[in-house]
Amino acid sequence: MKQLEEKIIEYLSRPDYRPIDSGALARKLKIVKKNRGRYNSAIESLAASEKIRIGKNGRLRLRVSAGFVSGVVRKINSGAAFVIPSEPSDQLQGKDVYISSRDLKDAQTGDEVLVRLTSRRRSGGQRCGRIEKILERASNVFVGTYLEAHGQGFVRIDGTQFQSDIHVGDPGAKGAQPEDKVVVEMLRFPTANRVGEGVLTEVLGHRGDPGVDTLSVVHGLGLPHEFSEEVLDDARLQAENFDEEQIGDRLDLRKETIVTIDPATARDFDDAISLRRDRRGHWQLGVHIADVAHFVPVGSALDRSARERGTSVYLPRHVIPMLPEVISNGLASLQEGRVRFTKSVFIEFDPAGNVMGAEVANSVIQVSKRFAYEEVMPIVEDPQAQKGKVAAKIVQLLLRMHELAMLLRKKRFAAGALQMGVPEVEIDFDDDGNVTGAHERHHDESHEIIEEFMLAANIAVAQLLASRDIPFLRRAHGTPDELRLKNFKDFCSGLGFELQKYQSRTEIQELIHSVAGQPEERAINFALLRAMKQAEYSPEETGHYALNEDDYCHFTSPIRRYPDLMIHRIIGELAAGQKPSLMAMSELIQLGKNCSLTERRAERAERELKRIRLLRFLEDKVGQEMDAFITGVESFGVFCQGQEIPAEGLVHISSLSGDFYSYDQTSRMLIGERTDHRIQLGDSVRVLIAGVDVDRRQLDLRLAEEKTTQKRRRPKKKASSRPGRKSKGAKNAKRKSGGRSTKGKGRRKSGSRGKRR
């Protein structure tokens, strides 16, 4: 194996090497199938010995030598940039590397680069460097607005990444007209002294026309949005071959009372619930998930496409599914009254809600009744009123579901799970797709029922796989950095709330409950979110911090998430009594990185299109005022989000009159040196819309009042000592949830917004 490792190192050391993943490298090195095991072991050994690094998208590169740093570029308005190191370095002491515009070459924001550190330092000791090599471009394809000048065509790229227009040659290429939105492939990136050059590859339509904004986001982020004929043919073949009567050795649950609960606008239904209680008072919970794996064989065209996409993308009024609709909305959708194949998890709980055991099965079900969330709680709260409307056995099932879910929820929070209370905002549209307003998403106990059962299923499956030492793709949420938690403690202290054991999940949750319904609620929840790490997919046993679980995975949404599909395949083999087909650790690591990236790309696309829609809504409202709250405080200004219309903009520090403001990093405040006036996270403010630039994605705001709504300094107070109990002022407050790492199922339905744990 030593010789194979040397061969890998030699190839990665070539001057013209550009990072590729282990599969592509195996093909370059002509590794035959029978030697792939040795090859994967060599990759794992080199990574473990820190001779190579598995980077973004699972691509391989050598570890950098002393005096060099690899990282990701973030350009600033001056034309200079910072490089955020890919991994901690003693020579940087936790700081980024400053790159002047003359040392940046043609590196752009998001590019991964190799930096040579120089002897120069900035004030405060920050290291400086110069770009030696572009390791990996963030993108070569961009979207912008077509312009013409001096008989030449140019494109002004959307956003603020490029300070000058990109030259695209003779005018009218591809039939483009001025003010059209176009796609450009970059031929030569711009530098401080050179204009960028590109080739126009596609005209999307006239700026502002219906559907063009959606196309701009899709192309700008490189989202796969059309299925190839090969994939569609594969899906049609699966539909032709599906015979609901040929159930084989599946566990037949067609006579069981089973329900689905989903958003009213959902088109695909991937989970269903059954629940019994025996004479001992033990609960027998059945969580039945659409058996997508049955229709997506490993290595098929469908599988390759789903793996590339990684996830469905939920945009305002538009969905880009991971799988063709014949599967996602048809064969694998658990529709009422239709026979459907499923993977089932059966979990037994004792009367106190303790798990007594769990098992899995390949099954077949027929949903008895489909419910929208809004229909559930009226039945639970007044079951007698449902006589003659809903079958008695269905009513009893819903009552049992509510009782068990609330028991599990109470038990989960008592054990130290976190629930952050940032409300989710949903944009309202008219029939033509224009923004008309926004509202906070309703979240009641019907949502919590499904949330608890999906969490229970995900945990049970992960524990089953872990107990058998089967490597699998976990949903990992690492412990927050000590410094971030300490800063969160100091921030809370500044608001008058004492958090003595800031490492304690239980004490943090007590604090969250104690501020519910109070003015400080929003500020503390935002600060806690910023202290958390981002959840990701990884085979590493890092646990899930927010859930306080050692073993956790995503199993419940295989229609829209590729990691869930991977888990289904393993579970299906176990349920059939077969030895599961295992993936090499290096391959799992690579797959986890790719799935994490596609998930974040989907999240970014959703945020980007929402931002565009909101900015278009505000374009003709310059000069008007609106109520807002502060979502971020930086040294250069304050980010504010409208309360009625959730658009976020910047109040630049230069526009704050009447005092000179300095920035306090620990408390994340701007403090007036003369007046001691404090501007901080969560403050309510009245802002003036000063400018809107849709193409650059910018909303400029000014404070309409001289001061923000400043809270009185309170004496120090401790969080409630009773876990899960809200303060009096919060008893009637809406239940809210959100954050980087929240809902266990991570539900994403057509027409709905979900949360990700």
CATH class of 2-62: mainly alpha
Domain ranges of the chain: 2-62, 68-136, 141-207
Residue range 411-432: mean pLDDT, rounded: 84
Amino acid at 517: G
Cα of 27 vs its chain's centroid, Å? 32
User: Which amino acid is it at 721?
Assistant: S
* Structure token digits, residue 36: 């792939």
Lookup: tokens for 179: 């003010």
How confident is residue 683, by pLDDT bands cut at 50, 70 and 90?
Answer: confident
Average pLDDT, the chain: 87
Tell me how far apart the alpha carbons of residues 312 and 598 are, in angstroms, rounded to a whole number. Answer: 9
Q: What gap in Å lies between CA 705 and CA 685, rounded to an integer?
A: 8
Q: How confident is the model at residue 425 (pLDDT cuts 50, 70, 90)?
A: confident
> Which of 32-41, 280-289, 721-730 shows the lowest mean pLDDT across its residues?
721-730
Question: Does domain 68-136 bear CATH number 1.10.260.40?
Answer: no
122: which residues sit within 8 A by CB, 6+ positions away?
98, 128
In 86-160, where do the E strands start and end? Answer: 97-99, 112-121, 127-136, 141-149, 152-157
- Using a 10 angstrom Cβ sphere, with 0-12 exposed, 13-18 middle and 19 or more buried, the burial of residue 281 is exposed
List the beta bridge partners of residue 639: 632, 650
Reply yes or no on whether the pLDDT at 726 is more than 60: no
Q: Could you tell me the CA-to-CA distances from 678 to 470, 629, 681, 688, 739 in Å, in that order?
A: 53, 14, 10, 19, 26
For the cut 80, the answer to whether the pLDDT of residue 357 exceeds it is yes
> Nearest-CA neighbor of 386 among 236, 334, 378?
378
3-state secondary structure of 462: helix
Q: Give the model confidence (pLDDT) of 553-607 as tens digits.
A: 999 999 999 999 999 999 999 999 999 988 888 889 989 999 999 999 999 999 9
Tens of pLDDT, residues 131-184? 988 888 989 999 999 999 999 999 999 998 898 999 998 888 889 999 999 999
Do 204 and 182 form a contact (C-beta atoms < 8 A)? yes
Phi-psi region of 289 (alpha: psi -120 to 50; beta: other; left: phi over 0): beta
Give 93's pLDDT tier (boundaries 50, 70, 90).
low
Four-point Cα dihedral 262, 266, 272, 274, nearest 10: 40
- pLDDT value, residue 90: 65
Residue corresponding to tokens 């709680």: 377
Is the domain 141-207 a CATH 2.40.10.330 member? no
Would the pLDDT of 741 be above 60? no
Residue 311 structure tokens: 């996830």
pTM: 0.83
Q: Hunting for tokens 């312009």 — which residue is that? A: 147
- Phi, psi values for residue 615, rounded to 5°: -65, -40
Token pair of 391 as six digits: 């079958």
Residue-level pLDDT at 233: 96
**What average pLDDT does this structure show over 252-274?**
92
Q: Is the pLDDT of residue 749 over 90?
A: no
Residue 544 is classified by DSSP as B
Higher pLDDT, 649 or 86: 649
**Token pair belonging to 674:** 């003369």
* More confident call, 257 vs 680: 257
The amino acid at residue 662 is S
pLDDT tens, position by position, 512-562: 888 887 778 888 888 898 889 999 999 999 999 999 999 999 999 999 999
Q: Residue for token digits 């917004």?
A: 753
Look-up of token digits 């008695």: 392
Neighbours of 608 (CB within 10 A): 19
- Which phi and psi (to 5°) does residue 662 adopt? -115, 155
Predicted pLDDT of residue 91: 67
Buried b (16+ CB within 10 A) or exposed e, 199-211: ebeebbeebeeee
**Measured distance CA(106)–CA(133) in Å, rounded:** 10
Q: Which amino acid is at 497?
A: F
Please state the rounded mean pLDDT for residues 266-277. Answer: 91
Q: Integer distance in angstroms from the first to the last C-alpha of the chain?
A: 39
Average pLDDT score over residue span 294-322: 95
Q: What is the pLDDT of residue 454?
A: 98
Residue 636 clears pLDDT 60, i.e. is over it: yes
What per-residue confidence (pLDDT) applies to 391? 94
Q: Is the pLDDT reported for residue 717 higher than 90?
A: no
Determine the 3-state secondary structure of 528 from DSSP: helix
- The string of DSSP letters for 383-448 reads GGGGTTTS-HHHHHHHHHHHHHHHHHHHHHHHTT-----PPPEEEEE-TTS-EEEEEEPP--HHHH
The token pair that represents 754 in the structure block: 């979900």
CA distance 411 to 434: 44
Same CATH topology for 68-136 and 141-207? Answer: yes
Which of 623, 584, 578, 616 is closest to 694 using CA atoms? 616
Residue 603 is predicted with a pLDDT of: 95
CA distances (Å), 377 to each of 89, 261, 291, 371, 399, in order?
Answer: 54, 11, 29, 11, 10
| Short-list 459, 467, 475, 465, CA closest to 540 | 475
* Predicted local distance difference test score (pLDDT) of residue 719: 47
Q: What does the pLDDT read at residue 243?
A: 92
**Sign of the dihedral defined by the CA atoms of residues 116, 117, 123, 126, in that order:** positive
- Looking at per-residue pLDDT, the higher value among 752 and 62 belongs to 62
Q: How many CA atoms lie within 13 A of 270 on its CB side?
A: 26
Q: Supply the pLDDT for residue 608.
A: 94
- Among 74-78, 456-460, 627-631, name the one with the lowest average pLDDT: 74-78
The two tokens of residue 323 are 């799988």
Rounded CA-CA distance 361/288 in Å is 9
Element containing residue 376 per DSSP (H, E): helix 373-381
**Environment class of 34 (CB within 10 Å of its CB; exposed 0-12, middle 13-18, buried 19+):** exposed
Q: What tokens does 75 get?
A: 């350009």
**CA dist., res. 73 & res. 415, Å (int):** 41
Mean pLDDT confidence for 415-434: 81
Residue 702: exposed, middle, or buried by beta-carbon count in 10 A (0-12, 13-18, 19+)?
middle
pLDDT exceeds cutoff 70 at 728: no
Beta-carbon contacts of residue 328 (< 8 Å; ≥ 6 apart): 268, 312, 321, 322, 559, 560
Q: What are phi and psi of 463, to 5 degrees?
A: -65, -35
746 pLDDT exceeds 60? no
pLDDT surpassing 90 at residue 17: no
**Binning pLDDT at 50, 70 and 90, where does residue 725 land?**
very low
